[in-house]
A and B are shown apart, each in its own frame.
Chain A
Amino acid sequence: MGKLELNQTLGKHTGRVWNVAWHPKGEVFASCGEDKTIRLWSKEFGKWSNKVILADGHKRTIREIAWSPCGNYIASASFDATTSIWDKKSGQFECNTTLEGHENEVKSVAWSQSGQLLATCSRDKSVWVWDVAEEDEYECAAVLNAHSQDVKKVTFHPNKNLLASASYDNTVKIFKEDPSDNDWICVSTLSSHESTVWSLAFDKTGSRLATCSDDKTVKIWQEYAAGNKEGIPTGDEESVWKCVCTLSGYHTRTVYDISWCRKTGLIATACGDDVIRVFKEEENSDPNAPNFAMVTCIEKSHQQDVNCVAWSPNGDILISCSDDGEIKVWKYTE
């Protein structure tokens, strides 16, 4: 059994806090929300405090932020239909590039592991891939219209140029670059959720994907590459993704976010029932039909919907944020 202990409550934002994101080194994290600001938090005398506020980048709610793998850039996705790139070249974070193109609300933004690609998705149902060219020029590498509804979340594979997206159309789609024309194509559609898929997270190897949904479940998907030893049939050279585990009966409302710790392998979820839950894969469980057990849960972790959870790179801290305007820092112990 594990334990989550509340370390600190941070209440600087006005209105909902939509998202928190760790700097890759784990000493700083960023938060964003309805108040159109991005706040950077770092530790001072053992306490997290808000050192920097980035304002005036967006005209509407900032829905999500993402640190580049090098930690020198922050990308922010906003309901004002733009994505902003903040860099530290002047010594402080400043917005020097704004990516336009989406028709309406941008819901999510993600960097690839190399930092060479950026993906965004929107209520306009499209997923865009941007190429980071020289001189901070961002070129549109693909506009993907594979989803039939609002796209909620995009995330890159931890070591391949593979992109996954989650949508209101109840599916998850996986995209990769087609080398013949450098366009991106949808290589798999993961259907099993019965309602909106809100978020998704790869494990540290990238061979598993966890998804969470409005259908109150969490699903674990396993990649089976062509010629896999289990004998799962695949396409020519494409992998198939199979749902190997469904966690149901735990969440009583929509599961909005999921974080898969790359250090400990623990899965944390943020739910509309105001509860934070942590799941762990049982030892000796069959990799093709794994069992996950809930190791802890915090009832009333926030006063309203929990929007986001994020494990620190070390895996010892979990941060959550909520519609109640607060960010909470939790210490995790075995």
Chain B
Amino acid sequence: MSHFSGALQLTDLDDFITPSQECIKPVQIEKTQTTTGAKISIGEDGSYNQMDVSGSFQKLEKVEITLADCLACSGCITSAEGVLITQQSQDELLRVFQENKKCDKNEAKLIIVSISIQPILSLAVRYNLAPNECAARLAGYFKHLGADIVVDMSLAEGFAVLENQKEFLNRFKNAPKTLPMLASSCPGFVCYAEKTHGNFILPYISTVKSPQQIMGSLLKSTLSKKWDGKLVYHVTVMPCYDKKLEASRSEFFDADSQTRDVDCVITSIELEQMLTREGITLLDMPKSTYSQPWLDGNEEIEIQLTRNLGSGSGGYSDNILKRAAKELIGLECDEIVYKNLRNPDFKEILLQNNQGEVALRFAIANGFRNIQNVVQKLKRGKCHYHYIEVMACPSGCLNGGAQARSQDGTHSKDLIVALELMYEKLPVLNLYEINEFAKVIISKEEMMRTEYKAVEKINTALNIKW
């Protein structure tokens, strides 16, 4: 069973042939050129050695398909799962922690962990802890493993919301043809759009990076001077598997430093497994604090979790609507109430201006079936929304595909309700403060933006589908 969201599970799967057999991604092998035929021998360890003209052996590079290769290929997506297991797994994370402990202090990497809100709530329910305590103990767990700094992803979430508001207002006023603007923070949806609908859908998707990737840029670029030349290894804690694919996108790879903005994504369910494997629960971990390296003093603070206004998927729709209503139609909307459409995962809100005309049409569409309805409506020119918060998982990110499963046989829907209630009780992030921060920290807008490209369908003889 694949761990990806429904949107990705369905993309170019194949029967009859297993993914590994079907992977037709050509891989370039780097080896020295020979003019005559090369002699290749297999070593005792199973490695391949090529004998060159002088008679000396050169070990051949093993062919490896990376996640980035998978993203660039129009073939299957599920075969990427095998790659994930080696590149972005709990084992890899533990290995990095171990190595870092062993190596010389000057060479050690600075390990920073960014934690998003959804996994904290998932684990809070799992271990029966209050959210703040859960986050504190989770921070304690990462410090126990060897993390140097643990930070709250909410800063990046705030940045993402602000930048989305800006982009929406700009599109609405200057480029109405690029509406509806579609949320970009769900990698399942973005990847599905790139592979399946290409240039048709991509212009509608917001060009603002997801919070995960904003955090990556912030830590690896904007704040790079803070780390005294140390290499940063950046771990994010996320509610879904698809985030691993996002972290592997070539857009988020820095050729100069040869590192990614996010080196490893670890999910709620994997954290649960790591704890179980160690035979401990979060309760066994001491409470720790979050750091704020973006402040001058880099002070440690007691954890006070916040949430965004609106949905548990980052609250994009509510926040953008609130700002748009104010700036475009002079309306203060204090209460935003959506109307469910055909199913509760597709809901809309229509706001009227002073003349009583509908001026803003916003929607939230969760789950793969509703992605289909959005895409098909767009294709037929019948999609009249200005903004749609699109997420691949039913019920959005609180129900992310890699959130911990219910323990006591509680129905998964009850679990989502519990998570939603917990989320709603958190204090709302102060966007005004975040905006003040942004003015100081964000020197250039590009740091917050990214781009998408359609994946061309490969039509080679190797890829014929009967």
A140 touches B369 (CB 8 A): yes
- A139-B373, A140-B373, A143-B372 known; A182+B344 contact, CB < 8 A: yes
A145 within 8 A of B: yes
B367 surroundings in chain A (CB, below 8 A): 183
Question: With A101-B376, A104-B465, A181-B343 as given contacts, are A143 and B13 in contact (CB-CB < 8 Å)?
Answer: no
CB distance A182 to B343 under 8 Å?
Answer: yes
> Could you tell me the dominant secondary structure of chain B's interface residues?
loop
**A79 nearest in chain B by CB position:** B466
User: A297 vs B386: C-alpha distance in the bound complex, in angstroms?
Assistant: 62
A141–B343 CB distance below 8 A: yes
Pick from A28-36, A87-95, A119-127 the stretch touching chain B.
A119-127
Q: Is B233's beta carbon under 8 Å from chain A?
A: no
Is the beta-carbon distance between A103 and B372 smaller than 8 angstroms? no
For the complex, give the distance between the alpha carbons of A124 and B15 in Å: 7
Cα A126 to Cα B11 with chains together (Å): 11
Q: Which of A103, A131, A140, A142 has the most CB of B within 10 A?
A: A140
Q: How many A-B residue pairs have CB under 8 A?
A: 58
Q: Note all chain A residues with C-beta closer than 8 A to B6.
A: 143, 145
Is the C-beta of A100 less than 8 angstroms from some C-beta in chain B?
yes
In the complex, are the beta carbons of B373 and A180 less than 8 A apart?
no
Measured between C-beta atoms, what is the minimum distance from A112 to chain B in Å?
A: 16
Q: Are A140 and B376 in contact, with the CB atoms below 8 A? A: yes
Choice from B9, B15, B376 contacting A145 with Cβ under 8 Å: B9
The residues of B that contact A125 with a CB separation of less than 8 Å are 13, 15
A97 to B6, CA, bound (A): 25
A256 contacts B by Cβ under 8 Å: no
Q: Does A150 contact B (CB under 8 A)?
A: yes
Q: Which residues of B contact A142 (CB under 8 A)?
A: 369
Considering the complex, give the chain B residue whose CB is closest to the CB of A131.
Answer: B342
Determine the distance from Cα of A170 to Cα of B369 in the docked complex, in whole angstroms.
26
A139:B342 contact, CB within 8 angstroms? yes
Check A260 for interface membership: any CB of B closer than 8 A.
Answer: no
Quick check: is B226 within 8 A (CB to CB) of the other chain? no
A149 within 8 A of B: yes
Given the interface pairs A123-B15, A124-B13, A183-B369, the reply to whether A100 lies near B379 with Cβ below 8 Å is yes
- Chain B residues near A168: list those with CB within 8 A: 15
Determine the distance from Cα of A123 to Cα of B12 in the docked complex, in whole angstroms. Answer: 10
Q: Are B345 and A145 in contact (CB under 8 A)?
A: no
CB distance from A64 to the nearest CB of B (A): 18
Enumerate B367-387 residues with CB–CB distance to A below 8 Å. Answer: 367-370, 372-373, 376, 379, 382
B10 and A124 contact, CB distance less than 8 A = yes
Report the bound CA distance from A179 to B354 in whole Å: 38
In the complex, which of the residues A123, A142, A143 has the most CB atoms of chain B within 10 Å of its own CB atom? A143
Residue of A nearest to B195 (CB): A103
Q: Which residues of B contact A145 (CB under 8 A)?
A: 6, 9-10
| CA–CA, A181 and B379, complex, Å | 26
- The answer to whether A101 and B394 touch across the interface, beta carbons within 8 angstroms, is no
Are A181 and B15 neighbours in the complex by a CB distance under 8 Å?
no
**A124 to B345 Cα, complex, angstroms:** 24
Q: How far is the CA of A186 from the CA of B413 in the complex (A)?
A: 16
Q: Which residues on A sit within 8 Å (CB–CB) of B372?
A: 101, 140, 143
By the criterion CB–CB under 8 Å, are A181 and B342 in contact? no
* Nearest CB in chain A: distance from B396 CB, A: 13
Contact status of A181 and B394, CB under 8 A, knowing A101-B372, A140-B369, A140-B373: yes
- Docked Cα-Cα span, A231 to B279, in Å, equals 45
CA A180 to CA B13, docked complex, whole Å: 29
Interface 0/1 of A97-129, CB less than 8 Å to B? 001110110000000000000000001111000
Docked-complex contact B345 and A181, CB < 8 angstroms: yes
**Interfacial residues of chain A within 152-194, with CB under 8 A of chain B in the complex:** 168, 180-183
Q: Contact between B15 and A150 (Cβ–Cβ < 8 Å)?
A: yes
B residues less than 8 Å from A124 (CB atoms): 10, 12-13
Residue of A nearest to B343 (CB): A182
Q: Which one of B6, B15, B368, B465 has the greatest number of beta carbons of chain A within 10 Å?
A: B15
Report A-chain residues with C-beta under 8 Å of the C-beta of B13: 103, 124-125
Between A and B, 6 residue pairs with Cβ closer than 8 Å are A103-B12, A131-B342, A143-B372, A168-B15, A182-B342, A182-B344
Top-9 shortest CB links A-B: A182-B343, A140-B372, A150-B15, A140-B369, A149-B15, A101-B372, A143-B369, A143-B368, A181-B344
Interface residues of A (CB under 8 A from B): 99-101, 103-104, 123-126, 131, 133, 137, 139-143, 145, 149-150, 168, 180-183
20 new A-B contacts, CB < 8 A, other than A180-B413, A181-B344, A183-B394, are A103-B196, A124-B10, A124-B12, A125-B13, A126-B10, A131-B342, A140-B373, A141-B343, A141-B369, A142-B369, A143-B10, A143-B368, A143-B369, A145-B6, A150-B16, A181-B343, A181-B413, A182-B344, A183-B345, A183-B367
